[in-house]
Amino acid sequence: MLKGIKLRLYPNKLQQDQLEQMFGNDRFVWNQMLAMMNERYQNNKNLPFLGKFKLNYLLKPLKKEYPFLKNSDSSSLQVVNEFLTQSWKNFFQDKSGRTGKPRFHSRKYLKKSYTGKSIIKIAGKRYLKIPNLGYIKTSRTGALQNIKIKRYTVMLEPTGKYYLSLQAEVHEPQKLRLTGREIGIDVGIADLAILSNGLKYPSFDGSYFEKKAKAWQRKYSRRRHLAKLLVLQDKNRKVLCPRSLESFANWQKAQKIKARYQAKAANQRKDYLHKLTTHLVKQYDVIVIEDLKTKNLLQNHHLAKAISNASWRMFRQMLEYKCKWYGKRLIAVDPKNTSRICSECGYNSGAKPLEIREWTCPKCQTKHDRDINAAINILHKAKPTGQGLAMVKS
Ligand SMILES: [Zn+2]
C-alpha cells in the first residue's frame, strides 16, 4: 500500500539559499522547455510534441549554457520534463478544449517546490541525506525506517516552513480485533458526531486561530492596497526609481502570518478528526453514517457551516480508509426521514425546525434527543429487518 509521508525540514541558511536556487532552476527549465515547445507548435501545429526523453536530451546543452543548473538534483530537472510532457499530452488529448496550453511559471508563486527521483538516505537520528543538499535536519526519521524513497518533493510553503513529502510503500496494517459492536452516527454543527448509543463528540473549536487569520487577512489587504497606491503614485509622478509592489515588505509579511494561522487551524482540526475516527474504528466493527452526497449540502457562505461541511467530508474519508485498513465496515445510508421518524415506534411526525433539540413522539410518548434519535434511525436503516436492535438502545 502506498502511504503519503510529510516531514518538516530544517535547512540551514546555506541550504536555504541553495533551495531557493533549486526551486528557481526547476522554474527556469520549465520556462525554457515550454518556450521551445511553443515555438515548435507555432511553426507547425501538426508536429508531434517532444516526449520526456527527447527533452531530457536537451538538458545537457542547457546545463553547459547555464552552469547554475548543475546545483540541482539533476533528476529533478527530468521530473520537470515529465510534468511538461504530461501537460502537453493533456492539452492535445482534451478535445473539449477545456484544458489550456501549459503556462509559464512566474517567480511570484507562493508555494515553491521541486521533485527528485534520486535516493534519499537516513543519515542518523533526525538527519537525512538529500542529493545536492547534503545532510539536513528533519522532524522525525522513524516513519522512514525500512522503506526505500524513490521520489520525493521538497517544498517551501507560504508559511515559510520547509517540508519533504513522499509516497512510500508500507506494509498492510494489522487488522484490529473485532469488538462485536455496531454504531450509527449522525453529524451536526455544534456536535460533530452524535452516536446512536447517546455519546456526543463536539466539533473542533478552531476559533482562536481562525480569528487571528481573519485579522491578518484584513491587515494584508489593507497593506497591499496601500502599497499599490504608492506604486501608482510613483508611476504618475514619474519618479526616478519607482518602487515596485514587491519592495514593500509589510504586506508580504502579513500574508505569511495569515497563511501560518490558517495552516495551524487546519492542522489542528485534521489532528482532532484523526484521533476521533481512529477511536471510533477501534470501538466499533460496523459504522453506519448518512450518505452526505445525497443530503442537501447547500452552498453556504456562512463560515461555521462551510467549515462543518469540510469537516464532515474529511470525517467520512478518514472513516472510509481506516475501516478498510483495519478490517472494519462502513455503511452509508440514505438520510431521508432520519430526523422525522420515531426510532422507538417508527411513527413519522414530520419535519421539525432546527432549533427543536428535543421532542416527544405523539404516538408512543417517547422523549427524544433530536440528534441521538437520528443516529439510531441511521443505524436501523442499515438493518431493515430490525434484528438486534435491543443492543443499540440508549
Ligand atoms: Zn414513537
How many angstroms does the Cα of residue 372 sit away from the middle of ligand 1?
Answer: 14
How many angstroms does the Cα of residue 380 sit away from the middle of ligand 1?
Answer: 14
User: Domains (ranges, CATH) in the chain?
Assistant: 1-171 (no CATH), 175-203+259-394 (3.30.420)
Q: Measured between alpha carbons, how far is 356 from 342 in angstroms, rounded to an integer?
A: 15
Residue pLDDT, tens place only, 323-365: 988 889 999 998 889 989 999 999 999 988 878 899 999 999 9
Residues 122-128: contacts with CB under 8 Å, at least 24 apart: 128/9, 128/164
Q: Measured between alpha carbons, how far is 27 from 145 in angstroms, rounded to an integer?
A: 32
How many angstroms does the Cα of residue 344 sit away from the middle of ligand 1?
Answer: 5
Per-residue pLDDT, 166: 85
How many angstroms does the Cα of residue 223 sit away from the middle of ligand 1?
Answer: 60
Per-residue pLDDT, 393: 34
* Strands 286-290 and 182-187, sheet pairing: parallel
Asked if residues 264 and 207 have their Cβ atoms less than 8 Å apart, the reply is: no
How many angstroms does the Cα of residue 348 sit away from the middle of ligand 1?
Answer: 8
How many angstroms does the Cα of residue 289 sit away from the middle of ligand 1?
Answer: 22
What does the buried/exposed string (b/e) look like for 220-249 if buried means 16 or more CB atoms within 10 Å of the residue's CB?
Answer: beebbeebeeebeeeeeeeeeeeeeeeebe
Per-residue pLDDT, 304: 63
Percent of the chain predicted with pLDDT > 90: 48
Residues in the 5 Å CB sphere of ion ligand 1: 342, 344-345, 347, 361, 363-364
How many angstroms does the Cα of residue 186 sit away from the middle of ligand 1?
Answer: 19
How many angstroms does the Cα of residue 337 sit away from the middle of ligand 1?
Answer: 14
Tell me the DSSP string of 194-247: EETTS-EEEPP--HHHHHHHHHHHHHHHHHHHHHHHHHHHHHHHT-SSPPPGGG
DSSP state of 27: H
How many angstroms does the Cα of residue 368 sit away from the middle of ligand 1?
Answer: 9
How many angstroms does the Cα of residue 200 sit away from the middle of ligand 1?
Answer: 22
Compute the chain's Rg from CA coordinates: 27
Asked if residues 288 and 193 have their Cβ atoms less than 8 Å apart, the reply is: no
Q: Measured between alpha carbons, how far is 324 from 320 in angstroms, rounded to an integer?
A: 6
How many angstroms does the Cα of residue 394 sit away from the middle of ligand 1?
Answer: 15
How many angstroms does the Cα of residue 246 sit away from the middle of ligand 1?
Answer: 66
Residue pLDDT, tens place only, 44-91: 887 777 888 888 999 999 999 999 999 999 899 999 999 999 988 888
Contacts of 39 (CB under 8 A, 6+ apart): none
Please give the torsion angle defined by the CA atoms of residues 58, 61, 65 and 70, in that order, rounded to the nearest 10 degrees: 80
How many angstroms does the Cα of residue 369 sit away from the middle of ligand 1?
Answer: 13
Q: Measured between alpha carbons, how far is 1 from 169 in angstroms, rounded to an integer?
A: 6
Q: Which three three-digit cell numbers place residue 105?
A: 511559471
How many angstroms does the Cα of residue 349 sit away from the middle of ligand 1?
Answer: 9
Asked if residues 207 and 213 have their Cβ atoms less than 8 Å apart, the reply is: no
How many angstroms does the Cα of residue 346 sit away from the middle of ligand 1?
Answer: 6
How many angstroms does the Cα of residue 343 sit away from the middle of ligand 1?
Answer: 7
**What's the full length of the chain, in residues?**
394
Residue pLDDT, tens place only, 149-175: 778 999 998 888 999 998 776 665 667
How far are the Cα atoms of 169, 174, 194, 282 from residue 322, in angstroms, in the given order?
A: 17, 11, 19, 10
Per-residue pLDDT, 384: 61
Per-residue pLDDT, 101: 83
Spell out the per-residue pLDDT of the chain, length 394, in tens. 667 788 999 999 999 999 999 999 999 999 999 999 888 888 888 777 788 888 899 999 999 999 999 999 989 999 999 999 998 888 888 877 777 888 888 877 767 899 998 888 888 788 888 889 989 999 877 777 766 677 899 999 888 899 999 877 666 566 788 889 999 999 988 889 999 999 999 988 888 998 999 999 999 999 999 999 999 999 999 888 889 888 999 999 999 899 889 888 888 998 999 999 999 999 999 999 998 754 445 444 565 666 677 788 889 989 998 898 888 999 999 888 998 999 999 999 998 887 889 999 999 999 999 999 999 999 999 976 545 433 333 3
Per-residue pLDDT, 170: 64
How many angstroms does the Cα of residue 188 sit away from the middle of ligand 1?
Answer: 23
Alpha helices in the chain (DSSP H): 13-43, 52-65, 74-93, 207-237, 249-283, 303-326, 370-382
Angle at CA of residue 240, ends 245 and 235, nearest 5°: 45
How many angstroms does the Cα of residue 381 sit away from the middle of ligand 1?
Answer: 16
Q: What is the pTM of this model?
A: 0.62
Per-residue pLDDT, 1: 61
How many angstroms does the Cα of residue 292 sit away from the middle of ligand 1?
Answer: 26
Per-residue pLDDT, 218: 96
Per-residue pLDDT, 202: 92
Percent of the chain predicted with pLDDT > 70: 89
How many angstroms does the Cα of residue 184 sit away from the middle of ligand 1?
Answer: 19
